[in-house]
Each structure stands twice: as structure tokens, then as C-alpha cells.
């Protein structure tokens, strides 16, 4: 899944991909070596929650970046989804751009680099990245999709089995609404 996600992000328009590792850092290292477009960020606090991984990744970002794409490895996305969300983000010049399907938000979420400090400050107690969305002045643009692929989240073995059977149906590019 890591290899798929890295390739999708690169093919979708990301110049660099930061892979945040934790418990399986030693096993992941060989997969990430020798790829200048991949930055490995070890998170020693991985057991404390997802927000620590967001923080670890943010600290590895190159200074010159304009947009930050946030996507967990258990949310596999085809390159066309990433490319479309990035394109819309650039067109609308929003602070945050995210996909939507059926009235619900999805991933990847694209943040303007001006929100780097907010992302570096997320905590589990503060609801992680959701805290950023509580700012009433946030310029958030939603991109409507007609594919549930933007909502796919593989958090359990059962969800993984479901994804194996449904991903091929969800992943092909469809026209957005």
C-alpha cells in the first residue's frame, strides 16, 4: 500500500512525498532508499496518535513548497484523484481543498503552505487536523466527486477485504459532478 500511495502521489503531481514511518521504520527503509523524490520521516511518538505523524511530516517539508497534500497510507487514491484535487486547489487559491462525495468529506486534503504552523501544532486532544477546520475564517473549497473512492478508508482487516473487491470498480476515473 505504501508503494501504491507514493506512486499515486508522484504521478498525481506531487514533487516530493514524505513518508512518515513509526513502528515499522526498519522494514520501510529499504523501500524508501535511493528515491530522491521520497523523504523518510521517522516518528518516534507514533504510538501517541496520528497527530504526531502529521507533525513529523510537516517538519520535513522543504521550505519552498506551496501546497501540502495530506493522505494516509490506508486511504489509497488513484493518481487522477490527487491530480484533480491539486488542480482545483491551484485554480481556486483556497487555504484548504478537499474532495466530497455524497455530502461527506474525503481525502486527500490539500493545505496551502501558509497553514504549515497550524498543521505542526495539531494534537490528539485538539482533534488533530479537524481543529483547523473549526476556524470560521478558513477558506475551504470542496471538490465534488461522483466516486466513493475519495471516502475509502482501510482501518480494519474487514475493510481491507472489502477494498480488495471494490477498489477496481471505484478507482477508474469518472467525471466529477
Q: Are 106 and 63 in contact (CB under 8 A)?
A: no
The DSSP line for 40-63 is: EEE-TTGGG-HHHHHHHHHHTS-T
Q: Is residue 53 part of a domain?
A: yes
Give 166's pLDDT tier (boundaries 50, 70, 90): confident
Q: Looking at residue 76, which CATH number applies to its domain?
A: 3.90.550.10
Mean pLDDT of 25-43: 95
Percent of the chain with pLDDT over 90: 85
Q: What is the pTM of this model?
A: 0.92
Q: What is the pLDDT of residue 174?
A: 60
Taking the chain, what is the end-to-end CA distance rounded to the nearest angstrom?
A: 28
Q: 158 Cβ partners below 8 Å, 6+ apart?
A: none
Q: Is residue 93 part of a domain?
A: yes
pLDDT tens sequence across 13-24:
999 999 999 999
**Is pLDDT at 160 greater than 90 in this prediction?**
no
* Residue 156: exposure state from Cβ atoms within 10 A (0-12, 13-18, ≥19): exposed
Q: What is the dihedral of CA 116, 123, 129, 53, to 10 degrees?
A: 70
Give 165's pLDDT tier (boundaries 50, 70, 90): confident
Q: Is residue 174 part of a domain?
A: no
Mean pLDDT of 92-114: 96
In the block, cell 508503494 appears at 3
Q: What is the pLDDT of residue 42?
A: 96
**Is pLDDT at 177 greater than 60 in this prediction?**
no
> How many structural domains compose the chain?
1
pLDDT tens sequence across 135-158:
999 999 999 999 999 999 998 999
Q: Is residue 118 part of a domain?
A: yes
Helix, coil or strand: residue 8: helix
Q: Is residue 88 part of a domain?
A: yes
Q: Is residue 54 part of a domain?
A: yes
Rg (the chain; Cα; Å): 16
Give 175's pLDDT tier (boundaries 50, 70, 90): very low
Q: Are 73 and 5 in contact (CB under 8 A)?
A: yes
Q: Distance (Å, rounded) from C-alpha 143 to C-alpha 89?
A: 9
Q: Are 8 and 76 in contact (CB under 8 A)?
A: yes
Q: What is the pLDDT of residue 94?
A: 95
Q: Which domain holds residue 149?
A: 2-169
Q: What is the pLDDT of residue 65?
A: 93
For 89-106, what is the HEC assignment? Answer: HHHHCCCEEEEEECCEEC
Amino acid at each position: 500500500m505504501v508503494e501504491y500511495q507514493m506512486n499515486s502521489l508522484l504521478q498525481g503531481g506531487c514533487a516530493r512525498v514524505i513518508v512518515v514511518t513509526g513502528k515499522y521504520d526498519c522494514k520501510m527503509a529499504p523501500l524508501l532508499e535511493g528515491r530522491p523524490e521520497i523523504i523518510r520521516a521517522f516518528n518516534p511518538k507514533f504510538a501517541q496518535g496520528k497527530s504526531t505523524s502529521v507533525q513529523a511530516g510537516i517538519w520535513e517539508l522543504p521550505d519552498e513548497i506551496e501546497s501540502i497534500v495530506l493522505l494516509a497510507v490506508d486511504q489509497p487514491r488513484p493518481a487522477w484523484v490527487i491530480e484533480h484535487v491539486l488542480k482545483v486547489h491551484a485554480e481556486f487559491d483556497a487555504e484548504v481543498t478537499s474532495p466530497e462525495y455524497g455530502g461527506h468529506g474525503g481525502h486527500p486534503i490539500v493545505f496551502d503552505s501558509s497553514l504549515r504552523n497550524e498543521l505542526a501544532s495539531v494534537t490528539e486532544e485538539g482533534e488533530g487536523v479537524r481543529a483547523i477546520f473549526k476556524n470560521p475564517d478558513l477558506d475551504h473549497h470542496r471538490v465534488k466527486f461522483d466516486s466513493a473512492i475519495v471516502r475509502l478508508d482501510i482501518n480494519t482487516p474487514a475493510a481491507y477485504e472489502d477494498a480488495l473487491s471494490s477498489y477496481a470498480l471505484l478507482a477508474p476515473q469518472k467525471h466529477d459532478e
